[in-house]
Amino acid sequence: MSLSIADLQKKKANGEKITMITAYDATFTLLVEAAGIDIILIGDSLGNVIQGRSTTLPVTLDEMIYHASCVSRVSKHSFLVCDLNFGSYQCSTEDGLRSAIRIMKESQVHCVKLEGGARVLELTQAITDAGIPVMGHLGLTPQSVHQMGGFKVQGRDEKLAAAIKADALALQDAGASSLVLEGIPRGLAAEITASLAIPTIGIGAGSDCDGQVLVLQDLLGLNMGKMAKFVKPYAKLGQSTIDAVSQYIAEVKSGQFPDDAHSYR
What is the DSSP annotation of 175-203?
T-SEEEEES--HHHHHHHHHH-SS-EEEE
Q: Which residues contact 243 (CB under 8 A, 6 or more apart)?
A: none
Tell me the pLDDT of the chain averaged across its residues: 97
Q: How confident is the model at residue 70 (pLDDT cuts 50, 70, 90)?
A: very high
Contact 184, 164 (CB under 8 A): yes
Q: CA 3 → CA 6, 7, 18, 106, 234, distances in Å?
A: 8, 6, 11, 20, 25
User: Active site includes 182?
Assistant: yes
Q: For residue 139, what pLDDT is reported?
A: 98
Give all domains of the chain, ordered by start, each with its CATH number: 5-234 (3.20.20.60), 236-265 (no CATH)
β-partners of residue 80 are: 40
pTM for this entry = 0.97
- Which of 115, 158, 182, 251 is labelled catalytic? 182
pLDDT (tens digit per residue) in 40-52: 999 999 999 999 9
Identify the pLDDT of residue 226.
85
pLDDT at 224: 82
